[in-house]
Structure 1
């Protein structure tokens, strides 16, 4: 069997004595600041207990405006406030909607039992 030996180029110190210069290019990356407009719009349309969804939508629009101007710090501040308001609007909306449904079912069940009881008393079923 014949074995072949593969060698790449030998890396080492540069042969000439000239100083090595480096160039650094800073590429400014656009930091993505989410403005939560869609979430705020959803909360405004469907979970708008205490108008928190509308207020969150206003802060989201302010965040988007700041982002367009180039003020990323201001955009981040408004976006953070909009996110907090959206979380509260969603949690309160879910709790109050669920509570309203449970209360409604309880009231209808109580009214139905009172109605049956009054019908039985009127028909002579004691």
Structure 2
């Protein structure tokens, strides 16, 4: 009897019951699902390079060089040369870092010099 006081109902199984996979009496095959995720394309840092070009160009033209390498990286990515795109993108990133650091130091020196007077 269940909690309501009625006898339990029995429902016959439809078809043949094979048990759980891997258990005795069941099938021993195991199914795997493989998900292939394409690798993320290399970054070209074009926006950062444009900012460096417009704001950091007095620093030995590092902004212009970074912009050129970013465009080369984007071109390589379009034609499918991911290794070349990664190489050019990495160079653009390094040039952007140098340009940003140098401009930051120059701005800091200008503020300090203005504060001293």
One fold, TM greater than 0.5?
Answer: yes
Pairwise CA distance, 1:27 = 4.8
What is the CA RMSD across the aligned residues, in angstroms?
3.0
> 1:43–1:10: structure 2 CA closer, same or farther, 3 Å change rule?
same
User: Structure 1 residue 36 and structure 2 residue 42: aligned?
Assistant: no
In 2, the alpha carbon distance for the partners of 1:32 and 1:80 equals 13
Q: Which has the larger displacement, 59-68 or 30-39?
A: 30-39
Equivalent residues of 1:63, 1:75 under 8 A apart: yes
2:84 aligns with 74
| Structure 1 residues 34-74: Cα deviation after superposition (integer angstroms, max 9, x where no partner) | 10000000011012222111111100000000000100000
Normalised TM-score (structure 1): 0.64
1:121 aligns with none
In 1, the alpha carbon distance for the partners of 2:84 and 2:34 equals 27
User: Structure 1 residue 102 and structure 2 residue 112: aligned?
Assistant: yes
Which 5+ residue runs of structure 1 have no aligned equivalent? Answer: 110-126
1:119 aligns with none
Pairwise CA distance, 1:11 = 1.4
1:2 aligns with 2
Q: Which has the larger displacement, 80-89 or 97-106?
A: 97-106
User: Structure 1 residue 91 and structure 2 residue 101: aligned?
Assistant: yes
Equivalent residues of 1:47, 1:94 under 8 A apart: no
Normalised TM-score (structure 2): 0.69
In structure 1, the residue corresponding to 2:70 is in which secondary structure? helix
Equivalent residues of 2:70, 2:92 under 8 A apart: yes
